[in-house]
Amino acid sequence: MTADTLALLPELCLLVGAIGCLLLGSWTPRWRQRRVAVAAGVAVAASLLATAAGPAGITAQTQSAFSGTFAVDATTDVLRLVVGLSLAVLLILARAEIRGHARESEVYVMLLLGALGVILVGGATDLAVLVVGFLLASIPLYGLIGLSAGSSAPEAAVKTYLLGGLSGILMMLGAAVLYGLGGATSYEALSRLEEVSSAAAVAGVVLLLVGLLFKAGAVPAHPWVPDAVEGSWTVTGAFLTTVPKLGAVLAIARLLEVLPEDRTWPLLIGAIAAASMTVGNLAALGQRDVRRLLAWSTISQVGYLLAAAAAVTGSDDALPALLLFLAAYAVTNLGCFAVLAAEPERRAVADWRGVGRSRPVLIGALGVGVLGLVGTPPTAVFVAKLLTIAVTWEAELRWLAVIVALNTVLSLAYYLRWLAACLSQATSGAEGRDGGQGVSPPTGDPGPLLAGRTAGRLAVSCAAGAVVLGLVAGPALTLTR
Amino acid sequence: MLSVLVFLPLLVAVGLLWPGIGDRLARRAFLVVTAIEVAGVVALWTAYENPGPGRLAFEERVPWIPGIGSSYHVGLDGLSLPLAAMTTVVFLACAVFALAEDQRPRLQAALFLFLETTCLGVFASADLILFFVFFDLSIVGMYLSIHGWGHGDRARSALQFFLYTFLGSLALLLGFVGLYIASAPHTFDMVELASSPPLQGSGTTGVLVLGAILLGLAIKTPTVPFHTWLPPAHTDAPAIGSAVLAGVLLKLGTYGFVRIAMPMLPEAFRAWAPWLIGVGIASVLWGALVALAQTDLKRMVAYTSINHMGYVVLALGAAGLAADGGDQTEARRTAVSGAVTQMVSHGLLTSALFLLAGVLWQRRESYTMREYGGLAVPAPRFAALLGIAALGSLGLPGLSGFVAELQVFAGSIATTPVAAVGLVGILLMTAVMLRAVQQLLTGPVGGLSDGFPDVRARESAPVAGLLLLSVTVGVLPRPLLDLVEPAAAVVVSLVSR
């Protein structure tokens, strides 16, 4: 039991941190909540340290904890690292954006709890743990969206909650069906499914997938994403388009690995991947609001992630490729959202005209970010996408490799539309509003300006991270083998 | 040494991004670095010894992504060295031409140095992923150049350019992945892939993989019918942007044919050869005919590029036709050698033409040839330079274009008589160029020509330098051909497997 507890030390750090922040936040006056942010940061740092130096460690042998319900292997460790680093970025972003908000400390708590749930989803090897992880990852999400200022936040929260509730119930139903068929909730029991009637088993797996696709924000459980991103804080949008996907896609990959050898499942995931990337890209083409544009772009990105996941049974390189893609996607997507946070007043694509002149460094970071999402070398997503095309090809899913390439071209149009707006001359109206200085600082309160600077620095760091990860992709890949 | 040559411009470009640097210093740095690059290439050329088949000179190799058999692998041979040399010369010419640039010169210098690294990187790459990285980044750089420094409807042209060529590069990437999957053990190394080509005897798969690669290269080159991005991109690009785009970037496509398509997929290439000959002839004729119909000088030069690249594709297609006997080998070598010479020659001549077009724009903001007339009177030096460039472009003996086109047709027609149809293209090109010279330079001085200031030293020197090199190749082709011919022989032997 002690060994089990130690194996879950990174998760424990997050849990203790969340509870600690909740208590600390209740005793802290509103204008001194910096200490809560620091506490949350310490919890994340501890979790990262525990992952790097913990009993499992990246290179340690695969083991599982709590009677084989949670895998403690290299895959989980990578997930812990990526989620932990994303959390670090999100905490800084949250501090910059909602400093002094009445619910500031609660936001930190929910970020920690939500991330913990995501790690549980990604590491689970048992249906019951998967469901628990799903709930833990979802409920803070509803809270985060609902807390956000803005008139459309309640509507977005309700929409997300309804869709999340429905997919959660379907997921539990699927788990129940599979339990009924296999007689156990462990993933191992799933591999014995071929002995039982296949229609019921297929229904069970598909229902289970619905919940995970909701978490991943993939088609067909995606409609909440654009509304939630548009209606909530930037930090919330950054969280919900990045972190839940990481765990959900890994969970799908893990499920695929244990399901009976069958061409059906990779094909199904491949089809979902193709639908997700195509729908996301087509919908993004027509968006005027950059938040909605980014939201649809993340729906398409999850399609690429799922394409790598679909190949796990057909290629040995697929899982490393997927893990690299998760890290690459996280750093790139967070960078794009940090750019949004740096210019919070600019919502429509047209509002970004001329920003390239007033904030060249920020737009440079945005350029690396969106071209990174496209898959332009030498950024990390390029290497990941290249590997994805290679592994899907190798896994006999060649049509999927072609669809990935075609969708990449499709996605160019809207990413470039945004970038081109930034680079073009400012219209006289926009220039008058900003005085060529980006956000106009409200008199007497340096807060927003400061926040914009912090977010800008964060964006540049993420962009640099995306390029560096791309250049050191070789060593990074060997870590995950 | 080679890596220094490739990455020095990038290093300086990053340094130029530092906000405190003044415009004067930036222009100087641009000039000095491009001059050092030329000197570096000259040093490499003098030190160059034919590495023999399957080897590269100045080779450097460091593991990069060992998991997928990709490494930082660079090297040069008789195909890439002339093109790398031509690249550095074109960039030096651009640096001189840009000495009077007043529109954000610091950023422009940084951008063009970045572009120089990507172009040299493509020619030096001996790894498909590395090749692709540089290939793609060159598109990003050119996009920014057209968008930031162009004129007219530049945002739209830049976007069209980006979308079109990026689509091509993705097709290329798919083809690369196909090669990678088919190779055993999996590798992206170009030397290894060329020495033991995968997909030999695989029938349709090889044809499809090569199809993807050819599509990507055809868009970049561009050949008919994938050329529609080129005229708007050229028309709205800044003068030095057009020079680099036509002079260097188009060669990235045709270079891919000799470097990747022919050695790595010989069997499939032979299957595609008749199509390539068709596409080549179509490009030659269509490019020339449409150029004849242009009233805008820059659009006209853009279409002549399509015609000139058509000769290259035609020659390479002819070289890929299945050889019946040993006597054909010589002809096919000539064709390949002509194709490579044409790449170098076109780079020199077209860059010169675009820089001259840039002079027109800087003075009068118009490319419409009808609006000028009699330019030879107020601007005799301009007229002389334009005249020589135009004559070179139509393939007059004594200039590099003649050496190239003679080899192209001597080699191609011996392999397949159909290639003779392409000769009509030369006739049409003569009409195109003479008409342009006539409209711009001769006749009564009028319209925009009134008081047209002649070219200054910093405008005439780069053009004269490029033309001088073209004349040198035309009169003394041996040094170039000594480099190209052995490499062309290797390509022909590789594609005959």
pLDDT at B217: 93
- Between B460 and A149, residue with greater pLDDT: B460
Q: What is the mean pLDDT of residues A291-295?
A: 93
pLDDT at A436: 40
Contact (CB<8Å) B159/A420:
yes
The C-alpha atoms of residue A207 and residue A201 are separated, in whole angstroms, by 10
Distance, in angstroms, between A176 CA and closest chain B CA? 40
Contact (CB<8Å) B163/A416:
yes
Q: What is the mean pLDDT of residues A459-467?
A: 92
**Nearest-CB residue to A413 (from B64, B129, B163):** B163
Q: Is B198 on the interface with A (CB under 8 A)?
A: no
Q: What is the mean pLDDT of residues B289-308?
A: 93
Amino acid identity for residue A37 in this structure: A
Q: Is B177 on the interface with A (CB under 8 A)?
A: yes
Q: Which chain B positions have a beta carbon within 8 Å of A416's beta carbon? A: 159, 162-163
Express as a percent the part of chain B with pLDDT over 90: 66
Size of interface A-B (CB pairs under 8 A): 77
Kindly report the average pLDDT of chain B as a whole number.
Answer: 91
Q: Are A374 and A440 in contact (CB under 8 A)?
A: no
Q: Is B208 on the interface with A (CB under 8 A)?
A: no
pLDDT of A261 over the 90 cut:
no
Strands A70-72 and A63-65: antiparallel
Q: Which chain A positions have a beta carbon within 8 Å of B171's beta carbon? A: 405
Confidence of residue A443 (pLDDT cuts 50, 70, 90): very low
Contact (CB<8Å) B155/A386:
no
pLDDT of A432 over the 50 cut:
no
The C-alpha atoms of residue A134 and residue A216 are separated, in whole angstroms, by 11
Tell me the per-residue pLDDT of B457-487, one tens digit each, with 9 for 90 and over. 899 999 999 999 999 999 999 999 999 999 9
Contact (CB<8Å) B137/A378:
yes
Q: Which chain A positions have a beta carbon within 8 Å of B178's beta carbon? A: 393
Q: What is the mean pLDDT of residues B388-412?
A: 92
Q: What is the mean pLDDT of residues B198-225?
A: 90
Q: What is the mean pLDDT of residues B47-60?
A: 89
Contact (CB<8Å) B67/A413:
no
pLDDT of B106 over the 50 cut:
yes
Q: Which chain B positions have a beta carbon within 8 Å of A402's beta carbon? A: 174
Distance, in angstroms, between A100 CA and closest chain B CA? 35
Counting every residue written for chain A, the total comes to 481
Which residue of B lies nearest to A420 if distances are taken between CA atoms?
B155
Tell me the per-residue pLDDT of A246-260, one tens digit each, with 9 for 90 and over. 999 999 999 988 888
Q: What is the 3-state secondary structure (H, E, C) of chain B?
A: CHHHHHHHHHHHHHHHCCCCCCHHHHHHHHHHHHHHHHHHHHHHHHHCCCCCCCCCEEEEEEEEEHHHCEEEEEEECCCHHHHHHHHHHHHHHHHHHHHHCCCCHHHHHHHHHHHHHHHHHHHHECEHHHHHHHHHHHHHHHHHHHHHHCCCCHHHHHHHHHHHHHHHHHHHHHHHHHHHHHCCCCCCEHHHHHHCCCCCCCCHHHHHHHHHHHHHHHHHCCCCCCCCCHHHHHHHCCHHHHHHHHHHHHHHHHHHHHHHHHHHCHHHHHHHHHHHHHHHHHHHHHHHHHHHCCCEHHHHHHHHHHHHHHHHHHHHHHHHCCCCCCHHHHHHHHHHHHHHHHHHHHHHHHHHHHHHHHHHHHHHCCCEHHHCCCCCCCCHHHHHHHHHHHHHHCCCCCCHHHHHHHHHHHHHHHHCHHHHHHHHHHHHHHHHHHHHHHHHHCCCCCHHHCCCCCCCHHHHHHHHHHHHHHHHHHHCCHHHHHHHHHHHHHHHHHHCC
pLDDT at B296: 92
Tell me the per-residue pLDDT of A200-236, one tens digit each, with 9 for 90 and over. 888 888 999 999 999 999 988 888 999 999 888 899 9
DSSP A99: T
Confidence of residue A429 (pLDDT cuts 50, 70, 90): very low
Record the tokens describing residue B4, joined without a space. Answer: 């220094």
pLDDT at B358: 92
Q: Which chain A positions have a beta carbon within 8 Å of B147's beta carbon? A: 420, 423-424
Express as a percent the part of chain B with pLDDT over 70: 99
Sign for the pseudo-dihedral over CA of B204, B205, B208, B210: negative
Which residue of A lies nearest to B177 if distances are taken between CA atoms?
A390
Contact (CB<8Å) A474/B162:
no
Q: Are A420 and B159 in contact (CB under 8 A)?
A: yes
pTM: 0.87
Helices marked H in A28-152 — which ranges?
34-53, 74-98, 104-123, 127-147
Which residue of B lies nearest to A476 if distances are taken between CA atoms?
B65
Confidence of residue A426 (pLDDT cuts 50, 70, 90): low
- Between B202 and A438, residue with greater pLDDT: B202
Q: Which chain B positions have a beta carbon within 8 Å of A387's beta carbon? A: 68
